[in-house]
Amino acid sequence: MAPVTDIATRALIVTLKSPLVGMKTAEVVEKTGCSARQVQRIYARAIERGFDPNETPFVLKNEWLEDAPRSGRPSKQTPETTELIIAKPDRSGYLGNHHLADSKEEWISQNEANEEAWVDEDNES
């Protein structure tokens, strides 16, 4: 697999190979450190995506130089499903963060808790 080049390096390669500068592939390889095959692919891909080397003024757009979309299985989960899962209460029985915000008004003070637990504060030390 070829090393990944950043968008700035790709822009440099396309600029150097364009008629504006007119470098040959071997010269671009020497300047950038990329392989000849990489240089040729980057330049060809930019042209396929809309770069016109003979256009004046010279224009380079990110969309001509960005990574291609990666293959892979798309997610079946929609944004609505994600929100439902996050909002759904925890079934484990433990108190989750979503319970804390609603239950603050149900909290009791330390004194009330001591009375309910029949704790004698004098014998507590």
Report which residue type is found at 61.
K
Q: What local confidence, expressed as pLDDT, does residue 118 receive? A: 62
The span from the first CA to the last CA of the chain, in angstroms, equals 69
Q: What length does the chain have? A: 125
The residues spanned by each domain of the chain are: 7-65
Give the pLDDT band (50/70/90) at residue 77.
confident
Return the higher-pLDDT residue of 1 and 72. Answer: 72
Give the pLDDT band (50/70/90) at residue 106.
low
pLDDT in tens, 46-61: 999 999 999 889 899 9
Question: What ranges make up the beta strands (E) of 8-122?
Answer: none
In contact, 14 and 69? CB cutoff 8 Å: no
Q: What local confidence, expressed as pLDDT, does residue 10 receive? A: 95
Nearest 10 degrees: Cα torsion 31, 33, 39, 42:
-110
pTM attached to this predicted model: 0.56
Return the higher-pLDDT residue of 51 and 94. Answer: 51
Q: What local confidence, expressed as pLDDT, does residue 103 receive? A: 55
CA distance 18 to 14: 6
Return the higher-pLDDT residue of 90 and 87. Answer: 87
CA distance 78 to 23: 48
CA distance 125 to 119: 12
